[in-house]
Amino acid sequence: MPILLFLILHWYLSLFAQTFFHHRYGAHKMFTMNPFWEKFFFIFTWITQGSSYLNPRAYAIMHRMHHAYSDTEKDPHSPHYFRDAFQMIWKTKDYYYALVSHQVEPEARFDKNYPTWPKLEK
Ligand SMILES: [Zn+2]
């Protein structure tokens, strides 16, 4: 029972971290946080997502591109341009890591106003 409870808690907290911190705050700037709470949610997200932690910059850029180019060839994870779901996930992963390692240069309009904490991200 404690393991099941841990897994359920981990699932919902990581989901909350993604929708609250990565999506609404990082990608869309739907609200502001002072530096303390931003650092708090960085750590909260890092702990709750564990090995699935996503870099907020890469997430924000990809998500903004997804909204700007929904279901076109420039959408980084549109299901319409891949043979199957596995191809889509693999290409999404490749583009995500290219953004994390700065191997691709996104449009300037997508590459700003997201939370960063280089020491934690490193
Ligand atoms: Zn969105």
Give residue 89's pLDDT.
92
* Residue pLDDT, tens place only, 105-117: 999 999 999 999 9
- The backbone region for 36, taken as left when phi is positive above 0, alpha when psi lies in -120 to 50, beta otherwise, is alpha
Question: For residues 120 and 42, is the Cβ–Cβ distance under 8 A?
Answer: yes
From ligand 1's centre to the CA of 20, what distance in Å? 11
Structure pTM? 0.89
In whole angstroms, give the CA distance from residue 7 to residue 9. 5
Kindly give the distance from the C-alpha atom of residue 65 to the centroid of ligand 1, in angstroms, as a whole number: 10
Distance 19 CA to ligand 1 centre (A): 9
What distance in angstroms lies between residue 50's CA and the mean position of ligand 1's atoms? 22
CA of 1 to the centre of ligand 1 (A): 35
> Domain residue spans in the chain?
2-121
Using CA atoms, how far apart are residues 95 and 83, in angstroms rounded to an integer? 17
Ligand 1 center–CA 28 separation, angstroms: 7
- The three-point CA angle 102-27-39 to 5° equals 85
Q: Looking at residue 69, what is its pLDDT?
A: 94
Predicted pLDDT of residue 68? 95
Centre of ligand 1 from the C-alpha of residue 77, in Å: 13
Gap between the Cα atoms of 92 and 21, Å rounded: 20
75-96 confidence digits (pLDDT tens): 888 888 888 889 999 999 999 9
Residues 15-41 have a mean pLDDT of: 96
- pLDDT at 48 > cutoff 90: yes
Maximum pairwise Cα distance, the chain? 49
